[in-house]
Amino acid sequence: MKFTLGWLKEHLETEASLETILAALNDIGLEVEGVENPAEKLEGFFVAKVLTADPHPQADKLQVLTVDAGNGALQVVCGAPNARAGLIGVFGVEGATVPANGMVLRKAAIRGVESNGMMCSTRELELGEDHDGIIELPADAPVGTKFADYARLDDPVIDLSITPNRQDCMGVRGIARDLAAKGLGRLRPLDEVVAHLPALAPQGAGPDVRVEDEEGCPAFYARAVRGVKNGPSPEWLQQRLQAVGQKPISALVDITNFVMLGLGRPLHVYDMASLRGALVARKARAGEEVLALNGKSYTLDPTMTVIADEVGAHDIGGIMGGEHSGAQDGTTDVLIECAWFTPESIARTGQKLNLTSDARARFERGVDPAFLDEGLDIATRLVVALCGGSPSEATRAGRPPVERKIVAYDPARCLSLAGVDVSADAQKAILEKLGFAVAADWSVTVPSWRRDIDGPADLVEEVVRIHGLANVPSTPLPRAPGVAKPIATPEQLMERRVRRMAASRGLNEAINWSFISEKEAETVGGGDWTLANPISEDLKVMRPSLLPGLLSAARRNADRGAPSIRLFEVGRRYFRRADGSSDERLTVGIVLAGDRTPRGWATGKAQPFTAYDAKAEALALLAAAGAPVANLQMMGEAGASFHPGQSGTLRLGPKAVLAEYGVLHPALAKRFDLSGTVVAVQIFLDAIPQKRRSGFMRAPYAPPALQSVTRDFAFLVPEGVEGDALVRAVRGADKKAIVDARLFDVFTGAGVEPGMKSLAVEVTLQPGEKSFTEEELSAISAAVVKAAGKLGGTLRG
């Protein structure tokens, strides 16, 4: 929500400084996102008079001007066709920065002629789109005056972040009311604010408007104004709208935007010449289309509310008007619509159509239902003041929900709920300044513009924020004496270990949304849960896999030139159980892309990541998580997301899959615009068996007294035997003596018969109280060879 300081002071009589106002806004919960003063970027631009204008000796389209900006005549080269002697315009002196392009004005020679500064157009000063010539000011404009002061542009623009529950602050007047309650001044009565407008003198019956959709549009008020003259709105109104980012269109349209931003009351103006018969608020017909003011056509369904005449729909009710029935330059008779739309209906329609507007932002929060008559009257008075014409009586179709809510309140709740001791009298004064009516028995009547107030806790919040959030004391919670007991769950401890291990291995943590787009979900087989009210169409599906989010992050890093991408994420995946309930599974995702090692004189070309890198990361993180890594089995391929033949799974038995890893399927990598080899891992932490708890004490570490012994074995095994299977068989040959076994060589070729391969295993033996004898070593070796023989392996000679 943007507004100017001057606009605020039309509603708030105050002597407070800008800094005081900004501090108060933050203190009452209206977060200030930014402040910008248009006058600051116009520093160095002055009202100036062109004294002479002569042709440039070296260029037909340029002129050499002498300009007086209050400090004597300066020579300026100008290419504007309207530059002439006697013209009063805007001159940028040497050292000024042109707002449109950031150019700093310097003394320079243009085609051999010295130029000092610049005569400016509206586009160059970001005050409009006109670039055909320089600005022309009235003849009585004071030469030498700062242009920002002359044009009354020294008016700071304040940008607030309005939370969804504060519908009353979607207009300048609601913000002024809060500041007045804070004690920064007096809220001017609305009659005083609009006292300069002509009084209404209605003539004749009002327009024919009706309500057929009481659910979507309970109330539809309207008034006709005949004989208006549309055209550009006055300069003050254009400046007010431009300051807050609105583009001036015409007087009639600008009036509706002015009332919406100032009073929080959206309106719409129809050209009566385009209407046929009565104007009706009704449900849309299936397949009915509306060409909206944004130039796009929308297909509607019967759940949506439209404003229509006998011919068809003109307006997507409460969201956006139609293009062909809006006010035009030649409009002479208008119908002003002031309706109240059900917030829930507006929200659903906007979501279905993916259509946003300033009107929707206000109606779906909840516009004041008791402000229809006043809003319509003020808009009519503005139309008459700026466009002329004769207003009719108002037509009131339907009835807005104006029943007031009454909340039973106890002032003691402020201390018990918020921990702030505010006297009863002070609480009563705060609530009354905010528009609440407080009875003697503390029955509080909620104002019509505060549909967010439901109970006593909401009233406590109002008191506390106006009292000042900075005044809420920081009181520590009571704590039992002694050392605090650990509160982290085993799952939380496991997450911490995994994160630390991943970071120690050079991986960078990514934190992605738990939602992905439908297109991304399709790449991993689709999701089970689709949100009905997503924050974006690209964040609609609860992720069934961590890979899409990580791959998107990898692509963003690659697009920005990252040579080596090493990302991990710890998060949850979401599924639907057979009974229809939701299921969340804690998972670690890893994506490695780009160069594993950069090119160099010793390594040659850059080396990509391989499936073995993915497996190494999976094993390291599983070990950190407490998984029995020594018992893991490598089985099969990882699934459709991975490259066939270059992927695998780590399991505890056939069904308990703890991790899947490998090279990403080329088709999936292409979907995310990733080139080269991409490897990925998913570790399913919830599948790791929980250790039995045996107390907080762990057994003391007792290192072996004797040095371990290593023995190497090379076996010829069939090509189909996996190295993992051989290593596990060797390790199980003598579980007491053999403490480790690892594969260190794979060989095929000369000396190895076809269909076979050579696998070399290093076996680590740990003696106990005494060293191994030759007989014991021979027995262990025989057991190793026998275990390998069960897989078809023979000791290689």
Residue 712 DSSP code: E
Residues 6+ apart with CB under 8 A from 272: 207, 224, 226, 333, 334, 335
Closest CA to 405 of 448, 364, 441, 343: 448
Cα-to-chain-centroid distance, residue 543: 18
Matching residue, tokens 């062909």: 324
Secondary-structure breakdown of the chain: helix, strand, coil percentages, each rounded to the nearest 5: 25, 30, 45
Exposure string for 370-390, b = 16+ CB within 10 A, e = fewer: bbbebbbbbbbbbbbebbebe
Counting beta carbons within 10 angstroms of the beta carbon of residue 775, is it exposed (0 to 12), middle (13 to 18) or buried (19 or more)? exposed
Tell whether 13 is in a known binding site.
no
φ, ψ of residue 222 to 5 degrees: the values are -155, 155
Closest CA to 147 of 237, 48, 78: 48
Contact 76, 119 (CB under 8 A): yes
Q: CA 293, CA 660: separation in Å to the nearest integer? A: 52
Matching residue, tokens 């943590």: 509
Exposure string for 193-212, b = 16+ CB within 10 A, e = fewer: bbeebeeeebeeebbbbebe
Contact 315, 290 (CB under 8 A): yes
What's the length of the chain? 797
Tell whether 613 is in a known binding site.
no
Residue 475 DSSP code: -
For the four alpha carbons of 548, 550, 553 and 557, in that order, the dihedral sign comes to: negative
Q: CA 7, CA 3: separation in Å to the nearest integer? A: 7
Strands (E), 386-477: 390-391, 395-398, 406-408, 437-438, 443-445
Tell whether 461 is in a known binding site.
yes
Question: How many C-beta atoms surround the C-beta of residue 784 within 10 A?
Answer: 25
Assigned token pair, 35: 């402040």
Q: CA 335, CA 699: separation in Å to the nearest integer? A: 86
Tell whether 441 is in a known binding site.
no
Side-chain-facing half-sphere of 733: CA atoms under 13 Å: 27
| Cα distances (angstroms) measured from residue 102 to each of 98, 124, 612 | 5, 10, 53
Contact 91, 120 (CB under 8 A): yes
Q: CA 175, CA 173: separation in Å to the nearest integer? A: 5
Residues 6+ apart with CB under 8 A from 776: 737
Cα-to-chain-centroid distance, residue 259: 28
Return the amino acid letter for 246: Q
How many helices and strands (H and E) does the chain possess?
20, 41
564 forms beta bridges with: 594
Q: CA 313, CA 325: separation in Å to the nearest integer? A: 10
Helix axes 251-263, 372-387, angle to 10 degrees: 140
Q: CA 574, CA 695: separation in Å to the nearest integer? A: 33
Q: Are strands 541-542 and 607-608 parallel, antiparallel or unpaired?
A: unpaired
Closest CA to 467 of 182, 717, 788: 182
Question: How many C-beta atoms surround the C-beta of residue 719 within 10 A?
Answer: 10
Assigned token pair, 556: 């963003």
| Cα three-residue angle 679-685-687, rounded to 5 degrees | 110
Per the annotation, binding residues for Mg(2+) are: 452, 458, 461-462
Residues placed in the known binding site: 452, 458, 461-462
